[in-house]
Structure 1
Amino acid sequence: MTAYDVPEVGPFRPRTEDRLELGEGPRLLADGTLVLVDILAGRLLGAPAEGDRPFEEMARLDVPLGAVAPLDGGVSGAPGRTGWLAAAGTAFVVLDSSGQVVRRVGEPEGAGPGLRMNDAVCDRAGRMWAGTMAYDGTPGAGALHLLDTDGSVRTVLGGLTIPNGPAFSPDGRTMYLADSAVGTVDAFTVGLTDATLSDRRPLFRVDPAVGSPDGMTVDTEGRLWSAIWGAGQIRCYAPDGTLLLAVPVPAVQPSSICLTGEHVVVTTAAVGLEEPGPLDGAVLMARCDATAPAACPASSVFAGQGL
């Protein structure tokens, strides 16, 4: 198989009866667990990736929860299951295995009322990249931030409106980032040791009158998968931006994508819809022959060893 082969995707069905306000951030963990968030409700949910078990509420915060990454090493005092590094409210925080906030790690410069964390992901070095946006979608008020393993937080890209992603190529050398409000997905070259971004280049654009590129993932062949919010569709692109596949989804607002090895899982949202349909807000799944590695964990330093 090459990166330009067209993957096969079967018909979608709801994963469970759960319905979310703003589902996002589905991640496959190394132990076969699927986790995701309901952003505005501040909820972290999890269930086995395969099967039909209902989602368990693993955390409920009093601020929006943009995304989580499992901690590599766990949290002191929380044996067994690991804790989480989370982009929540306007900050990076550590949750223990019971879902309680135990540590505030850092906050991007300029964060404050009117802004919130949106999508976030860890890279192979255990650093977390997270976007911020204005609640009202003010143009240019968003940014992409990096929480490094020394505990520092820096803004790596400003002037965004609704950043989604990022997602990384299998070798970690390319980062993809969407600005959903303007319909663009750009690619960047990533410095593996210093996390610098260079060589920004457009990959594809979706006409905002049609829909918006939202959450993304990259499969083991290097193909980029994007949920197209407002269009009821997911798309798969080759690394050069060639559209390989567009698949209808039975929900108006697909928000992000995860590949489990047997299925593609798509989170959706009901927020903003005057008359949500029966599957708006559902977590959908379909048979799929594309695979992707498990989500990268956050560095063990965020568990308290060194910060």
Structure 2
Amino acid sequence: MAGVPETIGDIRADLGEGPTWEASKRVLHWVDIPSRKLYTLDPGTGIHKQILLNGMIGAAVPRRSGGFVLAMQDGFYTYEDTAGAVKLLDPEEHLPGNRFNDGKCDAAGRFWAGTLSMSGEKGAGSLYCLDTDLRVRKAVDQVSIANGLGWSPDNKVMYFIDSAARQVTAYDYDLARGSLSNRRTVVALPEGNDLPDGMTVDAEGMIWIAHWGGGQVTRWNPREGTLLERITLPVSLVTSCTFGGDRLDELYITSAKADLSDKEREEQPLAGGLFRLKTRTTGLPAYPFGG
């Protein structure tokens, strides 16, 4: 069993999301979607730095050549301190009511990110892949709330969460081509008021799921569809998680306060906070964008 989550820093995000560990710099990056902020935490010093952007940001990944690649409200962008955010392309220019949400890079440096309808329209989103040559393609359509992504330790399986479906979908993954096949459900959540949100995969191939409205992170065996562990948090809107630290044995967890009532915010003063949990397992490295 893991220990008890601790709060890191005093930031209370409206909608914290997308944590990613940059091992070469020993820092954690994460975003606050509606507040248009990209945060970088140095756990060694406890210092948070922030970048204020011109639009909502769903995910940010470090770029191998420097800076970041961003999944913003209206498409993919690059970011460098000198140039700021520069738009690459918007595969959903014809869908102004959509925005990008969660995103992550595969081991080949491709950036996978999905969209959702800001008005809640079902099936209006898609999952896209931005390749290292900066060309984009649609990989999955009819998505309602594109969310968590992850890959098995051998990179032969990709996991994807459409929150509205209340399940984790797996695909056989061809890393050389970045192609998906053999879609199936590996984790089906029981009925409830919570939704599966962001996720990560550990070195044993088990998947960790953040529960929006459930106040917890759960660990599952995707080969058997069985629940292995529950981590309870003092906030209800748990959004995502990733492994970090020098040994990749620290689970960083993001949360939100945006949809809470005034009473719920009083009852959950840590809502929107960033949490850290020392675990007995290790995670997989996060990969930078390769283009």
Same fold, TM-score > 0.5, yes or no: yes
| Normalised TM-score (structure 1) | 0.88
Q: Of residues 237, 240, 257 in structure 1, which corresponds to 2:220?
A: 237
Query: Does the C-alpha gap of structure 1 residues 109 and 21 become closer, same or farther in structure 2, counting only changes over 3 Å?
Result: closer
Provide the rounded CA distance (Å) in 2 between the counterparts of 1:39 and 1:205: 27
Alpha-carbon distance in structure 2 between the residues aligned to 1:52 and 1:271 = 28
Q: Which moved more, 1:230-239 or 1:255-264?
A: 255-264
Task: Name the SS of the counterpart of 1:280 in structure 2.
Answer: coil
- Unaligned stretches of 5+ in structure 2? none
- The corresponding residue for 2:169 is 186
Residue aligning to 1:108: 91
CA contact (8 A) 1:90 1:112 kept: no
1:138 is the counterpart of 2:121: yes
Give the superposition deviation at 1:54: 3.7
Q: What's 1:213 paired with?
A: 196
- Map of 1:154 onto structure 2: 137
Residue in 2 aligned with 1:264?
A: 251
Structure-to-structure mapping, 1:1-307, within 5 angstroms = 8-30=1-23, 31-48=25-42, 50-51=43-44, 53-57=46-50, 59-74=51-66, 83-97=67-81, 100-101=84-85, 103-109=86-92, 111-207=94-190, 209-240=192-223, 241-260=225-244, 261-275=248-262, 276=265, 277-299=268-290, 301=291
The answer as to whether partners of 1:18 and 1:54 remain within 8 angstroms in 2 is: no
Cα distance in 2 for residues equivalent to 1:52 and 1:10: 22
Which 10-residue stretch deviates more, 174-183 or 200-209? 200-209
Q: Share of identical aligned residues, percent?
A: 35
Unpaired runs of at least 5, structure 1: 1-7, 75-82, 302-307
Q: Check conservation: 1:106, 1:147, Cα contact below 8 A.
A: no
Q: Alpha carbon RMSD of aligned pairs, Å?
A: 1.6
TM-score by length of 2: 0.92
- 1:153-191, Cα deviation, whole Å (9 max, x unpaired): 111111110011211112221111111122111111111
Whether the 8 Å contact between 1:87 and 1:117 is mirrored in structure 2 is yes
1:60-79: CA deviation from partner (whole Å, max 9, x where unpaired): 112111111111122xxxxx
Give, in angstroms, the shift of residue 246 of structure 1.
Answer: 1.3
